[in-house]
Structure 1
C-alpha cells in the first residue's frame, strides 16, 4: 500500500507543481511567455528531483504510466501492480489539478481550450517520451544514484527543445486537459499526445524484447 500511496501522492504533487508554477509564472511575467515557461520548467525540474529522490525508494517514483510499462517489461513489476500504479497515477494527476485550482481560488472543474495539435507536435511527443524512457533506462543501468538529477534535468531541458514542451506522460496529458491555464491542452488534442507517447513506449518494449531474446 505504501508504494501505491507514493505513486498517488507523487503524481498529484507533480501536477500541482506543473500547473501552479505555470499559473504563477504567467501572472508574474507581464505577458512574456518565455519568462513564464522558464519559471515553469525550473519549478518542474526542481520538484521532480525532490519527488524522485524521496519517493523513489518507496515506489520507484514512476508517476507515469509508460515508465511503469517499461519497468513491467523489465520484470520489476507484475501486471497487477502495474495496473494499480496506472490507476494511482491517473487519479493522482487529476487530484493534483483540482488541488491547484483550489489553492489559486479557481473553479475546480475546468476544461482547457489550448490547442496543441499537428504532426510536428505529435513527433515532438514521441521523441519526448522516447528520450525520457531512454534516460531512465540507461541511468538505471550506469548511474543509478543520479537518476533523480538526470530525469529532472531532462524534463527541464525538454520544455525548451521540444515543440510540445515535453509532456511525455499519458496521465499528465489527460489531467492537463482539465485545467484552462498556461499548461492546459484541449481535450480533443489529448489522443494525439497519448498515441505518440504510447508508440514511444512500444518502441522501447520492442528494443527490450529483442535484447532479452539475444541474451537468451
Structure 2
C-alpha cells in the first residue's frame, strides 16, 4: 500500500470518526429533551457502531489508527515505520477538524466555534489517563492474541469508557483538539485540551511499556512455522504491521 493511500485513509477515517462523534452528540442533545443521560447513551452507541465500521473499512489500508497515541505506540512497537509518524499525525489532526466542520454543516452550525464545555481537574485528567491506557492495552492485547476481534474489542472498550470515566473517554489528542472547536455536547473548552492531551500521552506510554512486555512480539521463525504458506503470502511479511496483516490495531475515539 502506497504512503499516499495510507495517509488518505487515515485522514478520511479520522474525519468520518469525528463526524460520527460530534454529529451524534448534536442530534442526541436535540432529541433528549434535556436528559443528559439519554443524550450520552445515544452518543455512545453511535460512536461505538461507527468505530467498528471505520476500523473494518480502513484497517487493511492504514491500520485505522485515527489517533496520534495509537500511531506513536505502533511506531514504538515496530509496526509502523518511524518516518510515517509525523505524516500520520498531521493527517489525523487535519481530518479531525474536517470531520467537525462536516458535522456542524449538517446541523446548520458554524463550521468552527470554540467550545465552552468545561472539562478540567485531577479527576478528568486521571480519567483520560486511564481511558487511553485501556485503549492501547486493548489494541496490543487483541492484535497479538485475537487480531480479527480487534475492531470489535476497541469499539466495545470505547463504548464502556464513555460511561466508566468522568471525562467520557476522549483518549485521543486529535479528537481532543478538534472537539475544542465545537461548542456542542461533544465539545471541550480549548483551555482544557492541553491537560487532556498530556494525560492521554502518559496513559498511552504506560500501556505500551507494560503490554509490550506482557505480549512480546512472536519471533519470525515461530510465525513462519505457525502460518500456512498461502496465508503468509496473503498477509505480506511477518515484519509488517500487525494491524495491516489482519484487521487493524485501533483507534479511538
- Pick the aligned partner of 1:168 from 148, 171, 193: 171
Matching of residue 194 in structure 1 with residue 197 in structure 2: yes
- Pick the aligned partner of 1:54 from 54, 57, 60: 57
TM-score by structure 1 length? 0.95
Closer, same or farther: CA 132–209 of 1 in aligned 2, 3 Å: closer
TM-superposed deviation, 1:203: 1.5
Q: 1:29-178 to 2 correspondence within 5 Å? A: 29-178=32-181
Larger radius of gyration: 2
Give the RMSD, CA atoms, in angstroms. Answer: 1.4
Q: Which runs of 5+ in 2 are unaligned?
A: 220-253
Match of 2:16 in 1: 13
Match of 2:233 in 1: none
Asked if 1 retains the 8 angstrom alpha-carbon contact of 2:13 and 2:64, the reply is yes
Q: 1:40-60 CA deviation, whole Å, 9 max, x = no partner?
A: 000000000000011100000
Say which SS state the counterpart of residue 109 (structure 1) adopts: coil
TM-superposed deviation, 1:208: 5.9
TM-superposed deviation, 1:6: 0.5
Give the distance between the partners of 2:79 and 2:209, measured in 1 at CA: 17
Aligned length: 213
Which structure shows the higher helix fraction? 1
Moved more, 201-210 or 82-91: 201-210
Q: Which runs of 5+ in 1 are unaligned?
A: none
Asked if 1 retains the 8 angstrom alpha-carbon contact of 2:137 and 2:208, the reply is no
Give the distance between the partners of 2:193 and 2:102, measured in 1 at CA: 21
Give the distance between the partners of 2:28 and 2:212, measured in 1 at CA: 43
TM-superposed deviation, 1:153: 0.7
Say which SS state the counterpart of residue 184 (structure 2) adopts: coil
Give the distance between the partners of 2:178 and 2:140, measured in 1 at CA: 25
Matching of residue 27 in structure 1 with residue 30 in structure 2: yes
